[in-house]
Every structure is written in C-alpha cells, then in structure tokens.
Amino acid sequence: MITSLTLTDFRSYAAARLEPGPGATVLFGPNGAGKTNVLEALSLLTPGKGLRGASSADLGRREPGEAQGRPWAVSTLLETLEGEVRIGTGVQGSGASRRVVRIDEQPAPPGRMLEHLRPVWATPEHDRLFSDSRAERMRFFDRLVFAVDPAHAAHVAAYEKALRERLRLLTGEEPADPIWLDALEQRLGEAGARAAEGRVAALEALQAEIDARGDRPFPQADLSLSGEAEAMAGRGEGEAAIAAAIRAGMKASRSRDAGAGRSLFGPHRTDLSALHREKNRPAAEGSSGEQKALVLNLILGQVARLADSPARPILLLDEAPAHLDERRRAALFDEIEALGLQAFLTGTERVLFTPLEGRARFVQVSGGGFTVD
C-alpha cells in the first residue's frame, strides 16, 4: 500500500506531498488543478512512459520563460508485508530524457518496480477504446498483460527495437545486408512468439474472469485477438513454430515493407476486438458510456486476478464517473471496496462520488497542493 507520494518539480507541482488512505482516494477540483498529474506520477512507478505517454524531458515543471523542464522526481513510500519500501523515479538534469529509478535509495532497473506494485489505469481516452486506433488498443492490452506477466514488457520492447532496426535497413540508401536482416528477423521471431503467447494466455485468463462476473452491472465482452501469431499460440502450436512463422513472414515481406516504408507483417499488426455479449454487436459500435463500462469491466477483472499477488495492484481512474450512470458509478465504488484495492479516482465535483462518503479519503486539489476534505 502507498502511504505517501511526494512530487518535486513534477508537472504543475513545485513540491507537494499526498498521504492516501488504504482504500479509495478521491481527488477533486476544477479542470487544470493538477488531478491527472497525480495519476500520471503514480503511473510512472512502473516501466514505460505512464498514462499520458509523455517523454521524461516533458515532465519537469517550467516557470515562465524557461525553455526546458526542471529536473523532477516522484517518490513513494510503500507499506509491504516485508516492511517499508521507498521507490523513486525522475531525471537528474534539466530537459534530461533518461529516467532513473531508485529502490530504497539504490539504483535499480525499471522492471524492479513491478516487484512491489502494479499500477493499472483508465483515462478518458479509453472511453472510445474499441472504436479508436488499433495501436492504442494494443498498448492498453499489453499493459494489462505485463501487469500480470512483467516479462511481457521486455518481449514487446525487444520486438519493437528489432522491428525499428529492420525497417531502417530496408529503407536505407544502401541495399540491406541480408545476413543482418536474417539476424534481426531471428530476434523478431523469438520476441514476437513470446509476446504472442503472453497475450493469448492473458486473454484466456481475463475472459474467464469476465465470464465469472455475470452478476455485476457492467456489460460483458467476448474478447479476441486477430494476429496470426496469436492464432497459432491459441492452437497450442508452440514457441518454435510461431517464431519460425514470424521469420518466414518477415522475410517474404521485405520488398513490400521497403516500398511501403513500414512493416506490414508481424505481431505488431495484431488487434484486440470485443463483442458486447448482451447486445451481440461489436463494442466499437457502442456509445462512449457502453465502451467505458466494458473497459472498466476488463480492468476490474484484471485487478481481481492480481488482488492476492505479492505486488498489489493500484487502480488509477481519471474522470471515473464520466459517461457512467448512477447505478454503475455506485457499483464501481462497491467493487473497489470489495476487492480491497488502493485506488485513486479523479473528478471535477465531489458530489459525483457521494456513494463513497465515509468510505474514501477526499482530497481537494488546487494551487499545486492538496487539502484533505
């Protein structure tokens, strides 16, 4: 459990400290007060760029006239079964792009943060998740996968790095070296196969969790993945066979990819789709409210899987009540409490969180600081 969060020159905060409660913490205040900045800080306590996808150089606070953001830091104190753990991250120079991580004051690789906590989040951008871009859907889904399987992040990162290197070779002024292409496609096959298997395993477990949640007032989704590698993983064809298929497909598409200037084959082209079970229609055709309810059911199913793990999930919901009716808002708050989650929720009006009165810590956000209400 997070017992304190300290922000130093992060976004709109010069210096601020928040002490959340063990359950839900509601951050309320007008637009622009800095509520989402708090969730973004918490989302950086995991590998990656956080819930806004911003570069480290863009996260530092700027005074008028300053061309670059200041060095910034996010630090949190966790209470765990083994005792207190301090996790910090930030940059050490103005405009620096390399984010460093410290655990109990010692340098650590970013992946080590996942040993202690697993942030899972939803933002207003996810309200149209199933009708927006494929890339955004897969970023969202891959985040859910590596919240359970931290190795998945490394497999996806290795695949994407090799994919960029291969495309640079194919689109360069000089003819691409076939030996180097073979080596890169070998790496793509290995990392892509592992990523595909991780996605399929996560989808099957998540679907089972969703199926078990039929008594909740959230719509259920039938999920599927469209990629060829994922289809092979679903049939149990094994890592070696999947890797070989990826290598063969990459080799066959070299000239096409060179002409297009982008890679047209591989697990990076996979898409996630969902069928609204009750209405028997694609989730992409639903309203923002329906899509948000489907996404929340996915997230609640995911954190339910993580609830008993040593690295506890924390739930970050930006503008949680938006597009939800009163019944579903109350149900969401009840589920957060029933799962024993530490959750951080934002909204412009306190009244939107009335069902949480007496069950949550309410914090007003204004002027770069916090006031417990």
Annotated binding site for ATP: 29-36
Cα angle vertex 302, ends 297, 303, to 5°?
A: 100
**Taking Cα atoms as reference points, which of 1, 30, 124 lies closest to residue 347?**
30
Distance of CA 300 to the CA centre of its chain: 14
Question: Which distant-in-sequence residues (6+ apart) come within 8 Å of 312 by Cβ?
Answer: 1, 117, 118, 306, 342
**Taking Cα atoms as reference points, which of 78, 80, 144 lies closest to residue 303?**
144
Tokens of 187: 């790496």
Alpha-carbon distances, residue 145 vs 200, 202, 347 (angstroms): 9, 6, 27
Q: Compute the distance between CA of residue 193 and CA of residue 237 in angstroms, rounded to an integer.
A: 11
Residues belonging to the binding site are 29-36
Cβ contact 28:346 at 8 Å: yes
Cβ contact 122:295 at 8 Å: yes
Cα angle vertex 308, ends 118, 121, to 5°?
A: 30
Cβ contact 353:345 at 8 Å: yes
Question: Which distant-in-sequence residues (6+ apart) come within 8 Å of 138 by Cβ?
Answer: 268, 270, 271, 272
